[in-house]
Amino acid sequence: MAVREVLEIGDPFLAQRAPEVDPDLIGTAEIQAAIDDIVDSMRAANGSGLAANQIGLPLRIFSVEVNKNPRYPYKPPVPLDIIVNPQLTFLSDRTFENFEGCLSVPSMRGVVTRHLEVQVNGFDRHGEPLEHVVRGYSAGTYQHEYDHLDGLLFPHRVQDSSTFCSWNSFKRYKEVAFVAQVEALVAEFGR
């Protein structure tokens, strides 16, 4: 287990599609150590999710966890979720405007349109098939991490470049309105 450096936007490794993990290898010491590194690195950086390629691992794995995160105090709790070889399916056309940040894009935020309901398929850290539905604000976190595995960072999804701002500007000018939006989604969906 180790805390690894999070690669930043512009690093060519982040632009590559992460390859699938052979399901028969998920239980190996190598893959389990990689999963531990993903979790440790996410937690050390106060992230709410982290994809393997963000820490230089060419593996189609991401983690999501929100537990009183100081970077995102408005995010609803999400227990630790490890997804190997994820597949996402949008369950409705309903979307929301998410003011996203990213450990690989330090000090920046921007608005990305995300779906409100997704089905997540893949394998858990023990190699067991998983399938669950994520609705509401938390669905955006899963889409964000999935994008990383395809070599996409949130700035690639921003449609209106005027929404880009620093973290400080977000906190000063945008956070109150955005938190109200998140609270409404949490009230409707529970997450």
Q: Which of the four pLDDT bands, split at 50, 70 and 90, describes residue 52? A: very high
Is 80 exceeded by the pLDDT of residue 56? yes
DSSP code per residue over 71-120 = S-TTSPPEEEEEEEEEEEEE--S-EEEEEEEETTEEEEEEEEEEESEEEE
Q: What is the pTM of this model?
A: 0.96
- Catalytic residues, by residue number, are 145
Is 80 exceeded by the pLDDT of residue 191? no
* pLDDT number for residue 124: 98
pLDDT exceeding 70 applies to what percent of the chain? 99
* pLDDT number for residue 183: 92
* pLDDT number for residue 90: 98
* pLDDT number for residue 69: 84
How confident is the model over 76-119, as pLDDT tens digits? 889 999 999 999 999 999 999 999 999 999 999 999 999 999 99
Q: What is the mean pLDDT of residues 141-163?
A: 98
115 touches 141 (CB < 8 A): no
Mean pLDDT taken over the chain? 96
* pLDDT number for residue 73: 85
Is 80 exceeded by the pLDDT of residue 1? no
* pLDDT number for residue 70: 83
Is 90 exceeded by the pLDDT of residue 167? yes
Q: Work out the widest C-alpha separation in the chain, in whole angstroms.
A: 49
Distance in angstroms (rounded) separating the CA atoms of residues 16 and 24: 23
80 touches 65 (CB < 8 A): yes
* pLDDT number for residue 35: 98
Contacting residues for 188 by C-beta, under 8 A, at least 6 apart: 136
87 touches 150 (CB < 8 A): no
What's the gap between Cα 74 and its chain centre?
A: 15
Is 90 exceeded by the pLDDT of residue 27? yes
